[in-house]
């Protein structure tokens, strides 16, 4: 079965058709004009038939053989040989076609030699000018591979452009979210300060009203020396016990123990603000590249989207290159100034993890 399939694949329908047309041209030439050529040259009987058939076949054999020889000339790249053989073939085919047209009974078959010669010429051209089947398949595979590579490259370019647009959209959304958060915070703190100011103003109005109404009497009360009746001795501010007067003991002036309540100004909520301290660069601190290499990750770049590991390396580098270490706000400002980009919720989460490990590393 495999042998039959291999034989079927080896068949060339083009060559089979060529051979059928050549055989048909030979038969047509011999049958139609072979019986007439002998009488035309003065022969009779079987001799005329044999000679006529021989002449007719020779004419066809001439263009068939010349075309075969032209294939050899093409292989040798001989221009002279190709010109001679193709010229002879053209003359022989012309004679055969003319003979069939003039002497043949079925003139419609006069073009068979030309068709056979055309198929033979096409086969010769394909065999000698075009690549074989295996090479053609290899070229087709290479061409398909190149097309696929170009298609993948175009798809990768579109994907990169899409990711860049997505990154820009996310980055813009992060900035807008931060702006909205700051606006909401400002509104909340402003409302709280407004309420505090109103409460203070109202309290001031109440105190002013009471002071206008009872302030004079209160001051007069505070200036009085009150006497109390009792048997216990009274200690004066100087530490002496005064003499008794008519069985009564003089007591000191009643001094109120309630002092005026003062309040300090209320400031706006500013989280993560630490007391100002002079910070200096740590000598011999590891660089960002060294930290990334020690962590076994790619060195973070400002132009790339940072993974959690890269973001942690950047934050550790920003925190511990200063003494005392940077606070969250200081590190965040340095992070932005350095050109890195990340969502604030990620920065806060990883910063919290760094501080947690730092607290666990410090002995209680």
pLDDT digits (tens, 9 = 90+) for 63-98: 778 777 887 888 888 888 888 888 887 887 777 777
User: How far is residue 152's CA from residue 141's CA, in Å, rounded to a whole number?
Assistant: 16
pLDDT at residue 261, as a whole number: 38
R_g (Cα) of the chain, nearest Å: 57
Helix then strand then coil, % of the chain, to nearest 5: 70, 0, 30
**DSSP notation for 181-200:** HHHHHHHHHHHHHHHHHHHH
Main-chain phi, psi angles of 322, to 5 degrees = -120, 150
Buried/exposed 303-319: b ≥16 CB within 10 Å, e otherwise = eeebeeebbbbbbbbbb
The pLDDT of residue 93 = 74
What angle do the packed helices 344-361 and 328-337 form, to 10 degrees?
Answer: 130
Which residues does 51 contact at the CB level (< 8 Å), separation at least 6?
A: 37, 38, 41, 43
Q: What is the pLDDT of residue 353?
A: 92
Decide: helix, strand or coil at residue 152: helix
Which residues share a beta bridge with 280? Answer: 323
Beta-carbon contacts of 222 under 8 Å, excluding residues fewer than 6 positions away, are 256
Contacts of residue 66, defined as CB under 8 A and 6 or more positions apart, other chains included, come to 85, 86, 88, 89, 92
Q: Cis peptide leading into 324, omega within 30 of 0?
A: yes
Residue 246 phi, psi (nearest 5):
55, 40
Q: Contact 113/97 with Cβ under 8 angstroms? A: yes
Residue ranges with strand state E in 151-281:
280-281
Long-range own/partner contacts, residues 238-242 (CB < 8 A, 24 or more apart): none
CB 292 within 8 A of CB 298: yes
Give the pLDDT score at 67.
77
Q: What is the pLDDT of residue 46?
A: 67
User: Contact 15/123 with Cβ under 8 angstroms?
Assistant: yes
List Cβ neighbours of 329 (8 Å cut-off, separation of 6 or more): 272, 273
Question: Do residues 70 and 81 make contact, with C-beta atoms less than 8 angstroms apart?
Answer: yes
Closest CA to 85 of 59, 67, 97, 61: 67
Please tell me what DSSP assigns to residue 255: -
Residue 296: per-residue pLDDT: 93
* Runs of H (alpha helix) within the chain: 2-10, 13-40, 45-76, 79-103, 112-129, 133-223, 288-295, 308-320, 328-337, 344-361
Could you give the 3-state DSSP secondary structure of residue 322?
A: strand
- Predicted confidence pLDDT, tens digits, the chain (364 residues): 556 555 555 556 667 777 777 777 767 666 666 666 666 666 666 666 677 677 767 767 777 787 778 878 888 888 888 888 888 878 877 777 777 676 665 565 666 777 777 777 777 777 777 766 688 788 888 889 999 999 999 999 999 999 899 989 998 998 899 899 899 989 999 999 999 999 999 898 888 888 888 877 777 776 665 544 444 444 444 444 444 444 444 444 444 433 333 333 333 344 444 445 688 888 888 899 999 999 999 999 988 889 999 999 999 999 998 888 999 999 999 999 999 999 999 999 999 999 998 888 766 5
Return the axis-axis angle of helices 45-76 and 79-103, rounded to nearest 10°: 150
pLDDT of residue 312: 93
* pLDDT score of 43: 66
């Amino acid at each position: 079965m495999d042998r039959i399939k291999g034989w079927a694949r080896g068949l060339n329908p083009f060559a089979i058709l060529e051979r059928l047309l050549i055989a048909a041209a030979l038969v047509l030439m011999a049958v139609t004009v072979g019986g007439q050529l002998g009488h035309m040259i003065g022969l009779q009987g079987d001799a005329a038939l044999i000679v006529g058939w021989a002449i007719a076949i020779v004419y066809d054999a001439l263009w068939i053989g010349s075309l075969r020889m032209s294939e050899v000339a093409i292989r040798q790249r001989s221009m002279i040989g190709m010109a001679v053989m193709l010229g002879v073939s053209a003359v022989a085919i012309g004679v055969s076609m003319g003979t069939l047209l003039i002497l043949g009974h079925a003139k419609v078959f006069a073009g068979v030699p030309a068709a056979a010669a055309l198929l033979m010429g096409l086969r010769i051209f394909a065999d000698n000018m075009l690549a074989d089947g295996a090479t053609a398949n290899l070229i087709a595979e290479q061409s398909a591979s190149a097309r696929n590579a170009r298609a993948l490259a175009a798809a990768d370019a579109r994907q990169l452009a899409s990711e860049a647009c997505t990154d820009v959209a996310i980055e813009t959304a992060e900035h807008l979210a931060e702006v909205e958060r700051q606006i909401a915070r400002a509104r909340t703190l402003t409302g709280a300060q407004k309420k505090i100011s109103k409460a203070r103003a109202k309290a001031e109005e109440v105190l002013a009203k009471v002071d206008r109404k009872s302030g004079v009497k209160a001051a007069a009360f505070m200036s009085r020396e009150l006497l109390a009746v009792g048997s216990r001795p009274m200690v004066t501010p100087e530490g002496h016990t005064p003499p008794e007067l008519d069985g009564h003991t003089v007591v000191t002036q009643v001094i109120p123990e309630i002092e005026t309540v003062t309040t300090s100004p209320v400031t706006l909520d500013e989280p993560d603000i630490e007391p100002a301290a002079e910070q200096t660069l740590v000598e011999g601190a590891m660089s960002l590249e060294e930290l990334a290499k020690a962590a076994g990750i790619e060195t973070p770049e400002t132009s790339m989207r940072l993974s959690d590991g890269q973001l942690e390396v950047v934050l550790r580098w920003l925190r511990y290159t200063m003494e005392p270490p940077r606070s969250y706000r200081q590190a965040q400002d340095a992070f932005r100034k350095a050109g890195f980009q990340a969502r604030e919720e990620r920065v806060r989460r990883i910063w919290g993890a760094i501080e947690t490990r730092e607290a666990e590393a410090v002995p209680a």
